[in-house]
Structure 1
């Protein structure tokens, strides 16, 4: 490895990891930092990362691997249940918004930047993607309505797939046009690629499911992630060899199949892939950002910024409203989707890949690369700045009291508490013991059977909308450990731990800033379970003015039963409450 290559890769790794950490800390899409680092350290800035000289054509396979990782991970994250509920709106977003956006982008790039029609069409195809990595960062920073999260997730992933496949077709048309006549067979290629991608992806998903099932018997949680990572890359390659550009569809189909069939094993697979993706993709996109030199076409930047503004501020909202007109999606949700449409990593990957395949068209590809970077930066910054205030303004932000609650620990008291909570907000159980998991499932609760101390579980729960946790095991130390682990993945103030018993030593000393003590420092889980099992106490809903002496309020029901607030010491009980009440002892007469 030459000194230039070692310097470029080493610096890109360091900058990529730094960008990723900052993005997670401040919940800002990482691609914004990748672009800035590439610009500052690339030829337009300090000139310390010279991608083309250091790596050359070797970056093209790296781009393809990155696309495979992103799309496979996205497939693992999709909710099939969400699609069933919103399939009409999702279909409209994909088949109306994408063509309108792509067509407008092609027109704008041809007439404003002056690139030929074939290149303009290629640009229109690649810029339609919003990107699951960018949307994922936004959804982690703001709790939106379930429908809105579903629509944004599905559009971002399948938009990437459609964008990659159609841009590959447009790229093939450009390559053929340079050496011959464009035939109808080029367009039939898209249909054949879709069929091949679905078949290979489904077959690969079935095979990987059996591999994961076998690996789970070895009791090594890392093996499933490694196997699926390798399998995804293999499927991407095999499908692409059968029909060119069908690989993206194959890995998404495989990921969705695993998500549907592998249950809790998907959590470990996704966690492993996220770590790999974080390192590999962050490095690669610093390199790709440094590959673009805006100084070479500085005179076009005012025009390119105008294109970026028109696409984001006019075309995107209009396309979304056209697509969702007449659907059940509210006007506020349409405006949010229309304004929040950040372009992602796959767009710049596709543009960079094309630049390596078309060395004979340097000017056109420089324009496309710079235009892509401008749109990504503009849309990413706008989405980051607007996602939270716009959600509040349009009233599509879910208040904390309406988010799902994850209950840790299955016992008589916690199951009865969850039953009452579930009448108002989503509730799920987290348990480690298989018999406890079976019991809660049999009683109709959504149950996650996994290691309570695994950070993956809380990351996944937060992603599924369970942004609050209450630990109600009969072990103080376990409640505190769970609270410590969950607090790093959930917003401050959303983690509660119950007191298991009186006069028990705790792990946390001093002021507890990690989690609130649930309910009251006079409520002890072991005592409550014992009394409820004996029929001496019960949980019920009652009004605050009906509280009896000894009643302990556990939660307050708000907004006409549509939200719940877990109570803690210092909060004044009011309105309708879920209470722990002891039965009054009957007086008995003693006859002599």
Structure 2
């Protein structure tokens, strides 16, 4: 009875926010655990929360959900933070390989998409030309709120990831600006007045968003370079700078704030005088929280009747965008491009999910159009435009749900079918290409596993290439290694240089790329030293290979003629039998592979392995092993 009364009691704002936070974490974890698109789960959880509880975020907002509401203001600010964080990841070095396709996608493809969608809205769905043009402008955007999680799920090649990332971040402010221009033209009664107002708006956008964002970026760089902002305050300081820049820019010109914060992020990402890595890491964590919360909150605001009313038109618009609009705009804009292959264009044509920016901009301008229509700005068409304006938000949200669901479920299989992504990236990146690394990498390579070796030593790289291995002369700590090498198909790092400090730093730097569970280093040579002289364990990661050998031990075994052998575990030959086989030798398990988890480095201590596992074992030359009969395990069990 008390539980029933508690369930019937109105939900408090604290309980609602707690549910949003908890459900966001649960959705992200389920997506990670079962390799599903996180955005799809967030949408489902948010919609389910709204339907099951009947509670929406609007219930706790004094300002309601209209124009200028706290919700729309908060959404705009959160989107600005996400775009700034996205701008921090845009490096001009990525444009050397795919600059022209990115330029075309952000210009020609936007124009084609806007024109095609507008035409369909007018002649296919019967919308007024003004609302059709507004919808066409809004639906040109994709955005980092949906692109970043999907790229993490799909794991495409570095080139494809760069193109999608640039397009998603750059097009977002462009779509918002197009929405502003359409609104200006729609409300103007004369063509000459409209053209002058549009030119003035574009000038303000360029001045405030472009030059203002650039100047602000240089000021922030100067403050950081002269250490006028302490380290502990820098992430919060930049968060405040983004909020102020976004708000002031929007006061000068509507929707200019998104352009300002994007340019600010790009400027800081490409300057060389100060490091912004720690700021980027903070913003990445913040982005995960913001994306989870926004999708849960906004999807919870949509009711079943609203979706039902928009289902027919929304389904038709969704089908048009996926089957006609996006493919025509991509193939049309990239026609004749020598920097993209047909397979790459096909993949680009089938990944354009719409996200938070589309929902936020649609909500704002739909309200603006409705207010203008009710005030008689459109004459006799006022009631029609007002009615259609009320449909736009649900229509756009249905497109968001549909594109996220379809692209989220189909993009990964398509990318793998086109050879642009790996199903389960389990290849190994070796930091260091000494004799032991070449020996091990050759064995893995010959079995079909992807390996890459990085080293600054010419002779080591030459010896690796003579073995047919993918080897690059590069410092594992260089920007080139982190930003320009294609790690598609690689799932783990083994830091195995002779320098323990380099191994530790490399492991720390690549933890954000591979996750800490997939970053390994050789046991340091000072692991047995006194804590006064040994390097702190806090800056190290897990040690790999059974017995935790150091670099000297592995090199010694390689030079003495050690071999890499495979051992398959079965029901009759268990891991206990394997240990007896190599008892008394210095053999060590280097890698383990099975059907469920794929290839991975062996930990320093192995407790038990199931049948079906394959072990890659480094065995000393002339090692004497215990001969075990096949029935050993069965006899022992009896």
1:521 is displaced (CA, Å) by: 6.7
Greater displacement, 58-67 / 398-407: 398-407
What are the ranges of 5 or more consecutive residues in structure 1 without an aligned counterpart? 432-440, 449-456, 506-513, 540-549, 556-564, 574-579, 582-592
> Residues 47-86 of structure 1 correspond to what in structure 2 (within 5 A)?
47-51=54-58, 54=61, 55-56=63-64, 57-86=69-98
1:284 is displaced (CA, Å) by: 3.5
Kindly indicate whether the alpha-carbon contact (under 8 Å) linking 2:114 and 2:140 is maintained by their aligned counterparts in 1: yes
Distance 1:464 1:62, change over 3 A: farther
Give the Cα separation in 2 of the matches to 1:522 and 1:3.
Answer: 54
Partner of 2:398: 374
Given candidates 119, 138, 145, the residue that maps to 2:131 is 119
1:309 is displaced (CA, Å) by: 1.4
CA shift digits 1:21-44 (9 cap, x unpaired): 4445455444433433343333x5
Q: 2:195 aligned with 1:184, yes or no?
A: yes
Kindly indicate whether the alpha-carbon contact (under 8 Å) linking 2:208 and 2:256 is maintained by their aligned counterparts in 1: yes
CA shift digits 1:54-107 (9 cap, x unpaired): 352122221220221121111101121111322211122122221222222222
Distance 1:503 1:254, change over 3 A: closer
Give the Cα separation in 1 of the matches to 2:235 and 2:487.
Answer: 19
Given candidates 111, 118, 133, the residue that maps to 1:99 is 111
1:191 is displaced (CA, Å) by: 4.0
Greater displacement, 115-124 / 397-406: 397-406
Distance 1:280 1:273, change over 3 A: same
Provide the secondary structure at the position in 2 that maps to 1:265.
coil
Kindly indicate whether the alpha-carbon contact (under 8 Å) linking 1:196 and 1:239 is maintained by their aligned counterparts in 2: yes
The normalised TM-score by structure 1 is 0.73
Given candidates 300, 306, 322, the residue that maps to 1:312 is 322
Partner of 1:132: 144
Distance 1:263 1:33, change over 3 A: farther
Partner of 1:288: 298
CA shift digits 1:247-292 (9 cap, x unpaired): 2111111101111115773221112122333334433443322333
Partner of 1:388: 412
Give the Cα separation in 2 of the matches to 1:484 and 1:229.
Answer: 25
1:242 is displaced (CA, Å) by: 3.3
Give the Cα separation in 1 of the matches to 2:244 and 2:511.
Answer: 37
Q: 2:434 aligned with 1:424, yes or no?
A: no
Give the Cα separation in 2 of the matches to 1:327 and 1:528.
Answer: 48
Kindly indicate whether the alpha-carbon contact (under 8 Å) linking 1:29 and 1:134 is maintained by their aligned counterparts in 2: no
Q: 2:418 aligned with 1:364, yes or no?
A: no
Q: 2:49 aligned with 1:41, yes or no?
A: yes
CA shift digits 1:381-439 (9 cap, x unpaired): 122212221112111225888978373999x99654974569835576556xxxxxxxx
1:526 is displaced (CA, Å) by: 3.1
CA shift digits 1:10-30 (9 cap, x unpaired): 544444444444445455444
Kindly indicate whether the alpha-carbon contact (under 8 Å) linking 2:426 and 2:489 is maintained by their aligned counterparts in 1: no
1:524 is displaced (CA, Å) by: 3.8
Kindly indicate whether the alpha-carbon contact (under 8 Å) linking 2:140 and 2:171 is maintained by their aligned counterparts in 1: yes
Distance 1:461 1:41, change over 3 A: farther
Kindly indicate whether the alpha-carbon contact (under 8 Å) linking 1:144 and 1:398 is maintained by their aligned counterparts in 2: yes
Partner of 1:560: none
> Residues 91-240 of structure 1 correspond to what in structure 2 (within 5 A)?
91-176=103-188, 183-188=194-199, 189-215=201-227, 218=230, 220=231, 222-240=232-250
Give the Cα separation in 2 of the matches to 1:34 and 1:356.
Answer: 26
Give the Cα separation in 2 of the matches to 1:231 and 1:274.
Answer: 17
1:212 is displaced (CA, Å) by: 2.5
1:154 is displaced (CA, Å) by: 1.2
CA shift digits 1:420-461 (9 cap, x unpaired): 569835576556xxxxxxxxx6xxx8478xxxxxxxx9xx99
Provide the secondary structure at the position in 2 that maps to 1:470.
strand
Greater displacement, 141-150 / 417-426: 417-426
Distance 1:46 1:146, change over 3 A: same
How many pairs align?
A: 519
Partner of 2:344: 333
Kindly indicate whether the alpha-carbon contact (under 8 Å) linking 2:213 and 2:260 is maintained by their aligned counterparts in 1: yes
Partner of 1:571: 616
> Residues 402-417 of structure 1 correspond to what in structure 2 (within 5 A)?
405=429, 407=431, 415-416=456-457
Give the Cα separation in 2 of the matches to 1:430 and 1:130.
Answer: 33
Given candidates 40, 54, 57, the residue that maps to 1:32 is 40
Provide the secondary structure at the position in 2 that maps to 1:571.
strand
Distance 1:406 1:305, change over 3 A: farther
Partner of 2:256: 246
Question: Larger radius of gyration, structure 1 or 2?
Answer: 2
Kindly indicate whether the alpha-carbon contact (under 8 Å) linking 1:60 and 1:356 is maintained by their aligned counterparts in 2: no
Greater displacement, 420-429 / 295-304: 420-429
Kindly indicate whether the alpha-carbon contact (under 8 Å) linking 1:348 and 1:372 is maintained by their aligned counterparts in 2: yes
Provide the secondary structure at the position in 2 that maps to 1:326.
coil
Give the Cα separation in 1 of the matches to 2:229 and 2:239.
Answer: 19
Give the Cα separation in 2 of the matches to 1:99 and 1:236.
Answer: 26
Kindly indicate whether the alpha-carbon contact (under 8 Å) linking 1:500 and 1:526 is maintained by their aligned counterparts in 2: no
Q: 2:377 aligned with 1:351, yes or no?
A: no
Partner of 1:270: 280
Distance 1:553 1:263, change over 3 A: farther
Distance 1:357 1:19, change over 3 A: farther
Kindly indicate whether the alpha-carbon contact (under 8 Å) linking 2:313 and 2:395 is maintained by their aligned counterparts in 1: no
The normalised TM-score by structure 2 is 0.68
Give the Cα separation in 2 of the matches to 1:153 and 1:446.
Answer: 18
Greater displacement, 307-316 / 293-302: 293-302
